[in-house]
Amino acid sequence: MIKAKSLTRKYGKIVAVNQVSFEIAHGEIVGLLGHNGAGKTTIMKMLTGYLEPTDGCVSIDDVDVANDRISVQKNTGYLPENCPVYPDMVVLDYLDYVAALRGVNNDKRSQRIMYAVEKTRLKEVAMQRVNTLSRGFRQRLGVAQAILNSPRILILDEPTNGLDPSQIQEMRALIKELAENATVVISTHIMQEVQAVCDRVIIINRGKVALDASMQELRTSNRLMVAVDQGQEQAEKIVNSVKGVRIISVKEGVEQNQFILETSAATAGDTAPEVAKAFVDSGSKLFALQPQVRDLETIFGEITAAGNLAAASNLAAASNVTVPDPLGEPRTGTSPERSDGDSQNLALSNDSDVSRKNDEAISTPVETAVKPEVDQ
C-alpha cells in the first residue's frame, strides 16, 4: 500500500508538485500521466525516498519514507527517468553489483540475476559492456536492475522509452506479470501505455492531481450520440419527453444532425431504448444511436485545455490583460496578486531539469547502484 498525503515540492518560488494525495493498493498497476514538466518524475523521486518533499508525507506499507527510507528502498524497485547505468561494466557484472548492494543473498543471487536477464530478454548481450548497448537494451537493463530484489513496490519512469514495438509488447506483458506480486506505478506521457497495462490512471497537470479514476470508470459513459433528420427545436421536444435526458451539444449536417445527450442514468445504455423509441414514435429518421465514450486522449485534452486557461487567467490577473474565454467572452485580469501555487504554472520547467539543478536527495549505497555519477 502506497499512501501519499499532501505531497508538495518547491524549488525556490517554483512549485513543482502541489498538495498531491492518493492511495495505491497492493497489486494495482497505476499510471501517472502528464505532459513533460507536469510533476510526474518529482512525485516518483519522493515516493522512492530519493527526494524529500517540502511538505506532506509518503508511507509504504505503513512505513514512513522519511523516517525509515532504507527499509522502504530495500523493498522497492526503481527505474529512473534517464536509466543511469555504469557504462564501463559488463551487463552481468553490473547486475551482480546491484544485487550485492541491494542485499540479495549469495545463494539466491545467481537465480535472481538469471530471472532478470530472462524476463528482460538480455541474454544475447549479457557479456557485453553497457556502453556498447543500444538505447532499447539499456532501457531493459534498467528494468532488470529494478526487479532484482523481488520488490513489493515497482516504480518505473517511462519504462518503454527507446523500445521498438515488439519490445514494448514484451514490456507490457512483464509489467502485468510483476503486478501479480507487487504494486506497480508507471510514469508516462503516452496514453496508449496507460490504456494497455494500467488498472487506474492519475493525471498530473501543473503539479496537481487533475484526475484519479479507474480505467473502468473512464470507459463508463452517461452520454449518447444520436443522429436524426430533425432540427434542434424539434429534437429538444422529443428528448424532453424522456425523463432525465437533455441535449448538451449539436452538430448540424446536410441530411442529418448529430446531438449529444446527457442522461441521469449511471450508464447511457440504460436510457438508449427509451430515446430510440421516442424518436421513432415521432416519425423521425434515426440514423445512429450509440453511447459516447470519451477515451483517455479526449479526457487528457480537456484537462490540459482547462489547465492552460487557468494559467492564462492567472497571468491576466497579474498583468491586468485580457484573455479569451471559451464561451467567447473576454476576461480581464484585475488583481496583481498571485499565489505560490499559481506562480508555478508560469515558471515550471521540466521535472528532471529542475531536479538536477536542485538535487537535494540524500545519497545512499542503494541509490548509488542505480544512479552513478558518470553516464556516457
Mean pLDDT, each 10-residue run in order, the chain (376 residues):
92 92 91 88 91 92 87 88 88 94 88 92 93 89 90 89 84 87 88 87 90 83 88 91 89 88 78 90 91 77 69 48 42 41 39 44 38 42
User: Distance between CA 218 and CA 215 in Å, rounded?
Assistant: 5
Q: Which three cell numbers stand for residue 131?
A: 556502453
Tell me if 97 sits within 8 A of 367, measured CB to CB.
Answer: no
- pLDDT for position 111: 93
**Axis crossing angle, helix 135-146 with helix 91-101, rounded to the nearest 10:** 30
Q: Where are the domain boundaries for CATH 3.40.50.300 in the chain?
A: 2-217+358-370
What is residue 103's predicted lDDT score, i.e. its pLDDT? 84
Phi/psi of residue 329, each to 5°? Answer: -100, 130
* Domain at 2-217+358-370, CATH from 3.40.50.261, 3.40.50.300, 3.30.70.20, 3.50.50.60: 3.40.50.300
CB atoms within 10 A of CB 105: 9
Q: Which of 8, 95, 84, 89 is nearest to 46 (CA)?
A: 8
Q: Contact at 8 Å (CB) between 33 and 203?
A: yes
Could you give the CA distance from residue 202 to residue 210 in angstroms, rounded to a whole number?
8
pLDDT at residue number 346: 35
Looking at residue 20, what DSSP letter applies? Answer: E
Residue 353's pLDDT is: 45
CATH 3.30.70.80 placement within the chain: 222-291
| CATH superfamily to which 222-291 belongs | Peptidase S8 propeptide/proteinase inhibitor I9 (3.30.70.80)
Q: Enter the C-alpha cell of residue 40.
A: 510526474
Handedness of CA 271, 277, 283, 286 (dihedral sign): positive
List Cα–Cα distances, 170 to 121, 175, 198, 201, in angstroms. 9, 9, 15, 21
